[in-house]
Amino acid sequence: MLVIEVVLGVLGVIVLCSIAVTVTVVLVLRAVFRRIRRSRAVGQTALRTRARLSRGPQRTVLALRVRLDETLRSGQAAVELATDGSGPRGELPRLYRRIAEEGRVLDLQLRLMESETDAAALAEELSAGRRRVEEVEHLVRRVRTAVASGLTGTTDDALSALGSDVEREVAALRAGIDELQALNRRDGRVAPPTASTVRDEGNRP
């Protein structure tokens, strides 16, 4: 009787461990799957693939979504440069958040168009959607231009200052060499051979 209880106890422990391992694996897989689904990079790749493989009006809608996504990503990259100390700040981050929010709403509208079955209604909606995407592109282009102007001004100033420093160092080096050669001539010393002098002596018979 005791042996049976021990065996049953061991079997119970094994079953519980198996259940715990199974539940853990399921939870981990679900978490990984959710993270993949939420991954922006995966979503962008899937959107571009659908745009290439689709046909008809749906392809046009997906192409607009791709344009909108690329536009917003380029704007986000510019704003990140503006906020990391490399460019102008001001109201750009706040303004871009408003642009991004409008872009998010527009993307939802475009996603709704994908399920539209009325050809006439879809044509009208596509015209409006294309115009809105172009407006977002124009706004983002202005944001990028503002950031680029700030970066260009900073770079030009830095390069000009660096060029002046280099010119001063070169002038000082030349002056030092000239002074050294003048001292050698006064002392009757032979000036150190230059590369051209060494080549000439090496070519003599």
**pLDDT tens sequence across 36-87:** 455 555 666 776 777 677 777 788 888 999 999 999 999 998 888 877 755 5
Average pLDDT, stretch 28-36? 66
* 76 within a domain of the structure (yes/no): yes
46 & 110 share domain: no
What confidence score (pLDDT) does residue 119 get? 81
Question: Are 25 and 19 spatial neighbours (Cβ–Cβ below 8 Å)?
Answer: no
* 113 within a domain of the structure (yes/no): yes
**CB half-sphere exposure, 134, CA atoms < 13 A:** 6
Instruction: Decide: pTM greater than 0.85.
Output: no
Burial of residue 70, with CB atoms counted within 10 A of its CB: 0-12 exposed, 13-18 middle, 19 or more buried: middle
95 & 143 share domain: yes
Domain containing 37 equals 18-53
Residue 166, pLDDT above cutoff 50: yes
What confidence score (pLDDT) does residue 99 get? 92
Cα Rg, the chain, nearest whole Å: 35
Categorize the per-residue pLDDT at 186 as very low, low, confident or very high, splitting at 50, 70 and 90.
confident
25 & 101 share domain: no
Query: Based on the structure, what is the number of domains in the chain?
Result: 2
What confidence score (pLDDT) does residue 2 get? 63
65 & 142 share domain: yes
100 & 113 share domain: yes
